[in-house]
């Protein structure tokens, strides 16, 4: 099992390397009848795309082409295959560092596992952040599917370089981060200052993404190993550069007393619901209705010009390495789109598993369209 696929009924396979000809995704398990266009995918890809302010200067248009699974503008229930051609490949930098694995990147692990001769060292190959193009494509399909359940998946940066940024209390507020180049909900000047300072010192920043899924129905998640929180954890921790995961109050709950750690159960519109977000909207690994709130920590970009020690694979001598090339000063800005996509894939998969969506055919109604349009309303033009 090479682990290039994720999900049980809604299954996303990503393929392609950073400096190969193309990358893409195959999405299996999307029911028939859902309108799907390249515009739908493009709108989500823009939020992950390099070349925006304070991201890697690599210019990739990330134009998606749907090759299969859509006929007359609607899904057919067959595998949806999407390709994105790599347009701005420059592998020259990587020749000079081929024999010196970059500290913090996946080079050393790939050489040890697959062998030096078999390793695609260009731009990190499969371990490049570029692999996540396929995840965002899968996530766009999942988000559209979830629109029919009234579920909206949002994300934003809550921490950058150790500085906290505001959180969202409602879906519209959360969606506004899509219009911010820093994916924050306020205090953009501070985000820009932090990034400019790190860049001027040729350094990089880490951060934390909060993902909130609004309107999640109760009953998502299987009781033992396929708990919703377990699948979300795996999904998030599979994103390159992720280093931590929290549900609800997360690690803060470990410091609390039991008396302050439970969400009260309260009556709302004739229904028992959670009166807090300590548990992140799940109990026993199953959604109970209301928002699902999780956080993912991302390390600072490891490829920077400040030297670090490595070993030359040929000579076995230690030597310092500075990493030239085109890199993100803070992965976390672009990781928001990826974390949202992974959350949507998990929720779409569990919605099918719970029988809340038919695995065969979808009735695309005006209410599905209304929810999907909300993403469009908060989509940057480019």
Of residues 166 through 195, those in contact with ligand FMN by CB under 6 A are none
Using CB under 6 A, pick the residue from 129, 161, 206, 281 that binds ligand FMN. Answer: 129
Closer to ligand FMN by CB, 75 or 310: give it: 310
Dist CA 341 CA 136 (whole Å): 5
Site map 70..109 versus ligand FMN, x via CB under 6 A: -----------------------------------xx---
The closest residue (CB) to ligand FMN is 129
Of residues 346 through 365, those in contact with ligand FMN by CB under 6 A are none
> Cα-Cα-Cα-Cα dihedral of 159, 183, 13, 1, to 10°?
-10
Q: Are 327 and 56 in contact (CB under 8 A)?
A: yes
Closer to ligand FMN by CB, 55 or 351: give it: 55
Residue 124 within binding range of ligand FMN, rule CB under 6 A: yes
- Closest CB 56 distance from ligand FMN, rounded Å: 5
Using CB under 6 A, pick the residue from 122, 327, 350, 353 that binds ligand FMN. Answer: 327
- Closest CB 305 distance from ligand FMN, rounded Å: 12
Residue 43 within binding range of ligand FMN, rule CB under 6 A: no
**Within the chain, where are the H helices?**
38-45, 92-96, 107-114, 132-147, 171-175, 188-200, 228-237, 251-255, 331-353, 366-377
Which of 84-92, 268-276, 328-336, 362-370 is the region at the interface with ligand FMN (rule: CB under 6 A)?
328-336
Q: Are 80 and 69 in contact (CB under 8 A)?
A: yes
Closer to ligand FMN by CB, 143 or 350: give it: 143
Residue 308's φ and ψ, nearest 5 degrees, are -140, 155
189-193 CB contacts, 8 Å cutoff, 24+ apart: 190/163, 190/165, 191/157, 191/160, 191/165, 192/54
Q: Residue 234: CB partners within 8 Å, gap ≥ 6?
A: none
For the record, the structure tokens of 341 come out as 């996509």
Residue 225's φ and ψ, nearest 5 degrees, are -85, -25
Residue 241 within binding range of ligand FMN, rule CB under 6 A: yes
Residue 154 within binding range of ligand FMN, rule CB under 6 A: no
Residue 334 within binding range of ligand FMN, rule CB under 6 A: yes
Closer to ligand FMN by CB, 333 or 347: give it: 333
Closer to ligand FMN by CB, 110 or 364: give it: 110
- Closest CB 9 distance from ligand FMN, rounded Å: 26
b/e per residue 45-65 (b: at least 16 CB within 10 A): bbbbbbebebbbebebebebe
- Closest CB 17 distance from ligand FMN, rounded Å: 12
Using CB under 6 A, pick the residue from 331, 336, 342, 345 that binds ligand FMN. Answer: 331
Dist CA 283 CA 220 (whole Å): 11
Beta pairing class for 286-287 and 207-214 = unpaired
Closer to ligand FMN by CB, 91 or 302: give it: 302
Residue 301 within binding range of ligand FMN, rule CB under 6 A: yes
**By rule CB under 6 A, what count of residues binds ligand FMN?**
20
- Closest CB 7 distance from ligand FMN, rounded Å: 19
Using CB under 6 A, pick the residue from 206, 240, 248, 290 that binds ligand FMN. Answer: 240
By three-state DSSP, how is residue 240 classified?
A: coil
- DSSP secondary structure, 18-73, as one string: TTSSEEEEEEE-PPBT-B--HHHHHHHHTTT-TTSTTS--------EEEEESEETT
Q: Is 371 exposed, middle or buried (0-12, 13-18, 19+ CB in 10 A)?
A: buried
Closer to ligand FMN by CB, 128 or 351: give it: 128
Residues at the interface with ligand FMN (CB under 6 A): 56, 105-106, 124, 127-129, 132, 239-241, 301-303, 327-328, 331, 334-335, 338
């Amino acid at each position: 099992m090479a682990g290039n696929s994720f999900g049980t009924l809604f299954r996303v396979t990503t393929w392609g390397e950073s400096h190969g000809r193309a990358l893409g995704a195959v999405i299996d398990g999307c029911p028939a009848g859902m309108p799907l266009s390249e515009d739908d995918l493009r709108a989500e890809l823009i939020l992950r795309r390099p070349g925006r302010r304070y991201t890697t200067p690599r210019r990739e248009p990330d134009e998606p082409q749907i090759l299969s699974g859509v006929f007359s503008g609607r899904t057919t229930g067959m595998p949806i295959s999407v390709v994105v051609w790599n347009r701005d490949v420059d592998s020259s930098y990587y020749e000079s560092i081929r024999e010196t694995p970059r500290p913090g990147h996946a080079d050393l692990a790939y050489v040890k596992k697959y062998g030096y001769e078999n390793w695609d060292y260009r731009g990190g190959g499969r371990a490049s952040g570029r692999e996540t193009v396929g995840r965002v494509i899968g996530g766009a399909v999942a988000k559209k599917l979830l629109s029919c359940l009234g579920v909206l998946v949002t994300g934003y940066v809550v921490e950058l370089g150790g500085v906290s940024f505001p959180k969202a209390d409602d879906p519209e507020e959360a969606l506004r981060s899509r219009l911010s180049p820093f994916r924050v909900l306020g205090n953009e000047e501070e985000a820009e200052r932090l990034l400019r300072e790190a860049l001027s010192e040729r350094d990089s920043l880490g951060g934390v993404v909060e993902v909130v899924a609004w309107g999640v129905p109760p009953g998502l998640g299987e009781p033992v190993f396929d708990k919703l929180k377990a699948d979300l954890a795996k999904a998030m921790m599979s994103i390159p550069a992720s280093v931590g995961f929290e549900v609800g109050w997360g690690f803060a709950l470990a410091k609390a007393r039991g008396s302050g750690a439970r969400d009260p159960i309260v009556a709302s519109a004739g229904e028992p619901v959670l009166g807090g977000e300590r548990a992140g909207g799940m109990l026993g690994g199953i959604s109970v209705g209301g928002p699902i709130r999780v956080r993912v920590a991302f390390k600072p970009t490891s490829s920077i010009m400040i030297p670090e020690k490595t070993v030359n694979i040929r000579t076995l001598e230690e030597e310092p390495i500075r990493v030239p090339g085109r890199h993100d000063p803070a992965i976390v800005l672009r990781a928001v789109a990826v974390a949202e996509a992974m959350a949507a894939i998990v929720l779409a998969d569990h919605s099918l598993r719970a029988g809340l969506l038919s695995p065969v055919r979808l009735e695309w109604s005006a209410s599905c369209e209304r929810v999907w349009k909300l993403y469009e309303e908060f989509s940057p033009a480019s």
